[in-house]
Structures are given as C-alpha cells and as structure tokens.
Chains A and B, each alone.
Chain A
Amino acid sequence: MLAALAALALTLSGCGRDQGGEGSATTPGISDDTVKLGISLPLSGPVSDAGQAQLGGAKAFYEAINAAGGVRMRDGKTRKIQLVYYDDGYEAARSVQNYRRLADQDRVLAHVGALGTAQNAAVMPIATQQGMPQIYVASGARLFSADQQKNRWTIGWQPTYETEGETLAKAVVDLGRPVKVAVIRQNDDLGSAFLNGFTKGIQGSQVTVVGPQTYEPTDTTVDSQMTNLAASRAEVLLSAVAVIRLQASALTKVRQLGWKPIVLLPAFTSGISTVLKPSGADAYFAQLYTTGFVKSPSDPQWSSDPAVREFLERMKKYSPEADANIPNAVWGYATAATMVRTLETMTDMTRQGVMDAVRKLQASDIPMLLPDVTVNGSRPGSSPVTATRLLRFADGRWGLPAPS
C-alpha cells in the first residue's frame, strides 16, 4: 500500500502545470471554426431577473449571428460563437470562481458583458493577473474604465452613473428657479455615484437636495422612505431606485400619498411596462424624466424601427424565457453586438488581440443604441459608450424633451 502511495505521489508531482495557451498550438478560445466566449451572471438571487435578461439578450444576438453563418473575421475564417455561462448568484466569491473556471478550464477567449459592480470589481485584479479580457462590463461604475494602465484587461461599456445623474440634473436646473429635490438612493456606491453626478449637475444653481433617503437592494419595500420624502412636499423627486420592483412600489406609494412632484428616474428602472404602467405613474405624474442611451422595446415610438423589431423577434426565437422589456436584455444584446464588431475587427487572434481591437473600436451602428449614441473604445479613462440623453415621458412614450 505504501508503494502505491509513493507511485501516486510521483505521478502527481511529475506533471507540472500546463502554463496556458502561449505554448500550445491553439490559443485559448479560438479554433478554426469556433470562438468561445464566457460570462458569469447573477442568474439566481436578488437580481436574477436582470441577470437572466442580460443573458437572454446576449444569447439572442449570438445565436442569430450563428444562424446566419457566424462571424467573419480578419484572417478570412468564419467562426461560430459558443457562449459558456455560469451563475454567481450576485456573490463576489462565486464571480471570482466562475471567472477562474472560464479562464482555466473552459479556456474562453474573453469574459464579456458581465453584470454586477462589486462582483466584477473582485474579478478585476484577477483579470490583470491572468491576462484574460474582462470586457464590456454591464455596470455604470467608473472604476472599470478609469485606469486603463493598471487594469489593462478590463473595460466597462455603458455611460457611468455619474453621467446619468448629471444629465437628470439638467431637467431641474432648466427650471431656472429655487427648487427642492427629494432624493432616495441605493445605499452603496451605485447610489452615491448617481447622487454625486446629480450634485455636480446642480452646482451653482438654486436647486437644493432634501434627504437623501437610502434603501438596500434586498429590501422588500421603500414605503417609509417615500413617506418621509413626501412630508417634505418637495417639487421634484429624484427616485434613484435601481431595483425594478422597488421602483414600481415607490411610485405607487407616492401616488397613494397624493404627492405630485416632477419625477426623475434612472434609465434601468424607467421601463414603461415594468415600472410606469404597474405603478400607475404613466397616468398620474405630469412630468417624468429619465435618461437613455438605448431604445426601449416597449416604447411605441420604436414599434416600426427595424432594429427593435429584429431584437424582439430574436428574443422570442432564441431567448423566449427572458423578459425583453427589462433594460438588461437590451444591454446584453447591444454588448453582444459590440463584441461581434470587436471580433470582426481583430487582427491578432489572441486574448491580447481582443484588447487591441477593443481600444480601436469606433462604431456608430450598433443596434438598439439611440441615434447619435456611438461606441468609441479609444478614449482613455472612459467607457466606450458615454453619450446619454435626457428623455421626457409624453403621449405614452419616452421622447426627447422639446427645447425650452
């Protein structure tokens, strides 16, 4: 028995560690006919609806491309895209494990379009260490794109929460008179970033902030916070609630209290069918504002837009279980489109080649982005998509506000 043990030990110590793709014939994630991409998403847990929508959007785009033959890449080969995904339940420890698994075991080319700020912040130093791209992170946090020297394998995608807050501030500053704004925000960096951007936008004006009330994403209700804010009788409400069900409940409460402020909403909780209709906000409030950089599929103004029609068809065909009306579905779809464009422009078929392509990418025709919103990966310290527009709710849809 001891002999068997010794033999086992010798065998195990004999195999050194395979040091990765550089020495082997095929680079990780790319073969002659396939490109392997990976994501870790919160498919279960407190934000599972957003996570599943994000996955559904990405799957829909990749499957559609595969059905049309695949991605035509610069080396002349056309490859199909294989998406490997794991659930991290919105837990940072699991995101890190999943990332490692995708990098080491599944050996994907890149980790694309993941969701969750803290979760991806945990992965960021590992990405730098392991040299696998962690790109187009679906988070508005600045840290993913801010220091491209230190975190050269990571980049965000969408406009930051600060930019959103600042854009919303315009609606209030344009009133041109002293105004009180009641604020509720998420008790974390997402919420602080939002408020910081808003505060920056109102600097030098006569606008003052009341509150701010905070809530946790795992809360079941924000009724008491809304009641406190209503007592201030402020003229404007900045309801920076990032969880869809809580936003619907918050606006319902405001309506029940008989308070009728001008309402400012963040983009991801401004969905017509997911928030405005269920809470009755669409009929009750006189002025509703939000920001946007993507087309909302439930918005009637886009009902005949070919990109939106294609999005809805593809979602129905390839991801019927996901809710196409959740903004994350559109983000997943548009991020996937950005990724495919990146694959098309890559000249070097390696992980480093992906990062080079990301930094050179300039595209103005990514589907589902609002007109005049472009992708530009070459700006240092900035996410690829930065433009966001102030939108006003009128006639049952979100549109650009009329010039004052």
Chain B
Amino acid sequence: MNPRLPRLGALGLVAAVIVLGVAPLSATPYTNLQIALVASYGVAVLGLNLVSGYAGQISLGQSAFFGLGGYAGAIATARGGWPAPLSFLLACLLPAVVGLLIAIPAVRLRGHALAILTLALPLIGVPLAKRYAGLTGGSEGLSAPMAQPPAWSGLDYDQWAYYVVLSVAAVLFLLARNALTGRLGRALSVIRENEVVAASMGISPRRYKALAFTMAAAYGGAGGWLFVYAIGFISPLELDLLLSVSLLSVMIVGGMGSVLGSILGGALYVYIPVVAGTVSPVRTTLLYGAILLLVLFFAPGGLAKAIHRLGHWLGPWLDRVWPRRNGGPPEPGTAATRSEGSVSSMR
C-alpha cells in the first residue's frame, strides 16, 4: 500500500477533529443535535458490531440495552440528582450485567436460536418500561434535561451536549479500536470463521463470545446515555424492537466488523429519514428501505469496505499524479523535488 495514504489519513483525521471541534460554535442547534445523535447511535452500532460483526452472533437485543442505559441515565440524573459521570457508569454497568446474564445461555446457541433469545429483550423491555410508570414516566416518556452547561464555558445547552457526547463517544471508539486490533479482535475473527478451529487453537469460544456480548451491552447502554444527554427525553419507543432491527441494518450497510462502519451506520440512521423526507415526506419508510438496498447493491460489503477499496485505488492514482522520488515520500508541498521525482519514477 502507498505509504502516503496513512499520512493523508492522519491529516484528514486531524482536519476532521478541528472541524468537529469548531463547528458547533457557529452551527444551528439543529445541526449540533444531529451530529450528537450520530455519535450516540454510532456507539450503539459499534456495540452491536462487536457481537454481530466481529463475533458473528446475531443480536436483536441492542435496543433493550440502549433503552436501559438511557433510562438509567435519565432516572439517575434527572430524577435522582446523580452527577453525570456517575449515571454514565450506571448506564454502562447495568446493561453489562444484564448482557452477561443473557450471555450465559446465549453462548450455547447459534444463529436463529440466539436471535430469538435476544429478541426477548426488547419484547420484555417495552411493557416493563410502560408498567413501572412511577419510575419511568410510562408511555408518555421521561423528560430528562441532563446537559447543564457550566457558567465558565459560555456555551449553549446544545453546544455543551455536543461536546460532551462527542468526547465520550471518541474515547469509547478509541477503546474499542484498541481492543479490536489486539488479541480480542483476532480471537473474535477466528471464532466467527470456525469455532472448532478456535477451540483447537486454545481460544475458548464461549468465554470470548460472553465477553463480546457484555461489551456490546455496555456500549449499547453508553449509546443510550449519550442519546438522552443529547435529546433530553426517553420513552419506551426507544427500546422498541424496530430500533434493534434498524441498528442491525445500518450496521450491515455501514460495514460489519469495522469501527468506521459503525460511525457510518450511525450517520445513516440519522440522515436517511431526513433525505427521504426531502424527496417525499409521506413515503419516508419506503425510501429508507430503498436507499439501504441501493447502498448494499453498489457496496455489498458495506460502505466502510467500499471506502477501503477506494483507498487501494487511490494509492496508485496518487503516485501517478504526485510522483515520489526514490527512497521515500516527499514532504508535501515541496514543488522543487517534483521534477526530480518524475524523472526517477519513470520506468
């Protein structure tokens, strides 16, 4: 691979960080809210990716963990007055515990049986949320304004919420990426391919799957907490089965087994209804499905894979347009070396 690509990638990342850091100061609350939502759904999709993308276990329960984390945050902070970091911990730990409990039977199952077991979670979750209305606000939902911009920042509610959500999401993404490029990621990919082979290599499929499940639940809960932080509201609809299915779909379209794919999945979930709405406000659901199908048609491995393939194509093109001189890449922007480079790169 062209060694300049990682450099360009890093530069692009720095540019993105700068833009994301400065944008909310001049953008409307609407845009800030949308980007914060992309981050929170992205975290939930990343969790789902851990168990479904990397480990290959289909889970339809992610919305239940999302809702559990969201409600934990809303009730703890808005009702109980807990400080935000504490309620965040609760929002990650509570679903993690539930995820671990579910994982015990779940790791013994495969494929459809596992999907049905995880299906039970949102199906139980929604009526539970409605029933304990005293705690959860029932079907009318719970209003939970959690973001309190401190006076020294001079920021508005939506800007503060944006910064908090994006920072937390960034940390979570980095943690996941580190875990996945290391031993955990390798173990999970072996398990996904063939569990018997994994076992023979000394990797315990059950333990790693349980770990993936627990992490996925924790990430789902974190996503839910971030969601409530951004929107300031939660209702039983947020735990709905439809959300689980949607998260699964955008995960596949965004890119299975990919951190970038998770972010893209979050963006798809937030922006496709908006795009569909501009075409025809009455047919948004239909258009949503159509757009997902179209993307899959043109990028069967998901968008993230398509972007990686683009990178492979970009490398040789870059060399043609901006030739390297012998022995290494030139410093960007030094025109003086270009003529030398073009002579030496001619074969």
Name the interface residues of B93-152: CB closer than 8 Å to any CB of A: 127, 130, 133, 138-141, 143, 145
Bound-state Cα–Cα, A143 to B274, Å: 29
A387 within 8 A of B: no
Of the listed residues B14, B31, B34, B281, the one surrounded by the most CB atoms of chain A closer than 10 A to its CB is B281
Bound-state Cα–Cα, A316 to B235, Å: 37
Main DSSP-derived SS at the B contact region: helix
B27 within 8 A of A: yes
Residues of chain B lying within 8 A (CB to CB) of residue A284: none
Bound-state Cα–Cα, A89 to B281, Å: 10
Residues of chain A lying within 8 A (CB to CB) of residue B143: 121-122, 124-125
User: Is B283 a contact of A44 with CB atoms below 8 Å?
Assistant: yes
Q: How many residues of A are counted as interface, with CB atoms below 8 angstroms from the partner's CB atoms?
A: 46
Given contacts A8-B19, A52-B282, A91-B237, contact A118 B30 (CB under 8 A): no
**Residue of chain A at shortest CB distance from B27:** A17
Residues of chain A lying within 8 A (CB to CB) of residue B22: 9, 12-13
Residues of chain A lying within 8 A (CB to CB) of residue B167: none
A189 within 8 A of B: yes
Bound-state Cα–Cα, A45 to B243, Å: 13
User: Is A122 a contact of B30 with CB atoms below 8 Å?
Assistant: no
Given contacts A44-B285, A93-B227, contact A188 B27 (CB under 8 A): no
User: Is A96 a contact of B26 with CB atoms below 8 Å?
Assistant: no
Query: Residues 289-314 of chain A: 1 if any B CB is under 8 Å from the residue's CB, otherwise 0?
Result: 00000000000000000000000000
User: Is A121 a contact of B26 with CB atoms below 8 Å?
Assistant: no
B202 within 8 A of A: no
26 pairs across A/B with beta carbons < 8 Å? A8-B19, A12-B25, A17-B27, A43-B284, A44-B283, A44-B286, A52-B282, A85-B281, A87-B277, A90-B237, A92-B231, A92-B233, A93-B238, A94-B273, A96-B232, A100-B28, A103-B30, A121-B141, A121-B233, A122-B231, A125-B232, A141-B140, A143-B140, A187-B127, A188-B130, A189-B133
Besides the contacts A17-B25, A118-B237, what 10 more A-B pairs have beta carbons closer than 8 Å? A9-B19, A9-B22, A13-B25, A85-B281, A96-B33, A100-B28, A104-B30, A104-B31, A118-B235, A126-B232
- A interface residues, Cβ below 8 angstroms from B: 1, 5, 8-9, 12-13, 15-17, 43-45, 48, 52, 85-87, 89-94, 96-97, 100-101, 103-105, 117-118, 121-122, 124-126, 129-130, 141, 143, 187-190, 192
